Structure 1
């Protein structure tokens, strides 16, 4: 399917989306193209009637609203791609709206759990020092796991104590890093010298001296979670949730957290304004005249 291949290149090179997002989008569009083929239709035949029928077929299969929203988002991107290539003309993709979803409060580790996890990543050698540096940096900056594994050595500025993070759509932001992350990084960089493959610029390396994958980092996180006995469903993104939650609980303003996370819209950051019961009690005790 040439359209699918071209769309994949468009997502990678023009939209600067992560490999994971590209994979999800192309999978969704492959499903849509199969739907068209079964209907005996071609790309040029796409209209609202066909799209409504496709979405209806997904609903009949019992797809969750989250799945529907993602597939509609993928479809919107595909239609925009087709319009930009003048394969489809005068098709207003903005009219294709995703279903409204109830936003769930994101799961997070409390400060004690976070400290326990990071303090347990101890040991000698390259792997331990890399994992310690990676997870300290992930929590210190709140970056996405895809952003972490895409860092290069020159992304770190120890003089200014910042990290240059390349986010979605290639947008760069500067994020401060704390002393724990800096110390862990400096120790890791000493070990990295003996592992690096020729010409490799990646900050975090695998055992072959090449850029590490986000999948492998997920596996490493699971290892440490088992070690400390944390039984929650935790992913690298949970560290991002924890970063935002802890900042807001300690008085950070929402706009600053938005900038640190790299969110384009403030409404995306507002999901982190949930209040933990312990924080609520502290605020009450401090603020209420008859507490």
Structure 2
């Protein structure tokens, strides 16, 4: 094996108290790097031959315990190296990749801390929606454990069942639990992929994540027409909310987040060209006369770099994201008022335009593959969730035709 690791003093980095950091010195294919262990001693108290602190050292209550801690860190690193060697992976790693595997496994024994690490990474990548999803799970787990830390080895099948029972005891829904569990599962999968934990620690082998069918969200054609024909004054906030809903419907059920970030420069040759923020899927949608009428109201006196709709107010992306979340709350409240004015009994939310588009496309015999592409789904199974059940009135019509044969 071309890899070696030993406990050593980093004599290049003398501290103010004349001590030197104790490190793991990692050698891999004749290249060397160090891994800090957070301890330091002066040269006179370091036994280089036996790789340990001398008994005469007075900087700790127990030299033997400190030496055992250092030895444990070295043993853990050796185990990682041996495991990689047995898997025939060691020789294909750079020294930096090998160091990262050792450091990551050491740093994230805590499930909570690893979750927070993922959240920070997502924020750096400006994926604030996903970051909020992970944040919500970490917060609810901290509430469940009354603020106590959770180690990876503690998140097992029994832990998941106890969390499930606690969740239901508070009157929460099956689908809310499903969201939490899918995120916990995602954290574990990321940890396994990054060699933070082994696959043996995976707690979802026997735990099944349950869901229940959600309320049918799609509107029928008559309801959509009633929203289109609703007379509203331009000074009425509902005027804008109606326009957002219809623009979303006409743009393949675009999400409110994507709608908010549309800029004038996205309109090219009477087409809207943009990328979906969630999946980065590119869109190229022709502007219909009905959509053009809505867009024209918002385009006057705007530069190409301006947002089309008056949703985002600030310049920093993280604050812009918060603008959209706040606006979406007001938008959903406004849609409830629109539903009342249009005599629509179904609950009207920002998601309804997307589900309505998918359902109406299906009823117009648009192929499933095309609907899936228009919605920006990577799998047909995701699209089938949107189209899981036809509206009851459509089924009634089919039943009448069968009865009247």
TM range (shorter): 0.7 to 0.9
Q: Determine the C-alpha separation between the residues in 2 that align with 1:69 and 1:130.
A: 34
Choose from 217, 224, 228 the match for 2:331.
217
Choose from 196, 202, 205 the match for 2:307.
202
Deviations 1:46-102 (A, max 9, x none): 442563354344356254321221111121233344445654344447747652334
Question: Is 1:139 paired with 2:231?
Answer: no
Q: How much does 1:119 deviate? A: 2.1
Q: Which residue of 1 aligns with 2:262?
A: 151
Secondary structure at 1:168 match in 2: coil
Choose from 250, 257, 270 the match for 2:371.
257
Secondary structure at 2:274 match in 1: strand
Q: How much does 1:142 deviate? A: 0.9
The aligned length equals 281
Unaligned runs of 5+ in 2: 1-111
Q: Which residue of 2 aligns with 1:30?
A: 139
Unaligned runs of 5+ in 1: none
Larger strand proportion, structure 1 or 2? 2
Q: Determine the C-alpha separation between the residues in 2 that align with 1:136 and 1:284.
A: 31
How has the CA–CA distance of structure 1 residues 158 and 181 changed in structure 2, closer, same or farther, with 3 Å as cutoff?
A: farther
Choose from 185, 209, 228 the match for 2:295.
185
Q: How much does 1:9 deviate? A: 2.6
Give the CA RMSD over aligned residues.
3.7
Question: Is 1:240 paired with 2:354?
Answer: yes
Q: Determine the C-alpha separation between the residues in 1 that align with 2:286 and 2:128.
A: 23
Question: Is 1:75 paired with 2:197?
Answer: no
Q: Which residue of 1 aligns with 2:281?
A: 171
Secondary structure at 2:351 match in 1: helix
Q: Confirm or deny: 8 A CA contact 2:219 2:352 kept in the other structure.
A: yes
How has the CA–CA distance of structure 1 residues 202 and 58 changed in structure 2, closer, same or farther, with 3 Å as cutoff?
A: farther
Deviations 1:127-160 (A, max 9, x none): 677445422211112122222223233333353x
How has the CA–CA distance of structure 1 residues 127 and 97 changed in structure 2, closer, same or farther, with 3 Å as cutoff?
A: same
How has the CA–CA distance of structure 1 residues 97 and 117 changed in structure 2, closer, same or farther, with 3 Å as cutoff?
A: farther
How has the CA–CA distance of structure 1 residues 219 and 42 changed in structure 2, closer, same or farther, with 3 Å as cutoff?
A: closer
Secondary structure at 1:113 match in 2: helix
Q: Confirm or deny: 8 A CA contact 2:174 2:211 kept in the other structure.
A: yes
Q: Determine the C-alpha separation between the residues in 2 that align with 1:94 and 1:158.
A: 50
Q: Which residue of 1 aligns with 2:117?
A: 6
Q: Confirm or deny: 8 A CA contact 1:131 1:220 kept in the other structure.
A: yes
Q: Determine the C-alpha separation between the residues in 2 that align with 1:207 and 1:58.
A: 39
Q: How much does 1:27 deviate? A: 1.7
Secondary structure at 1:170 match in 2: coil
Question: Is 1:266 paired with 2:374?
Answer: no
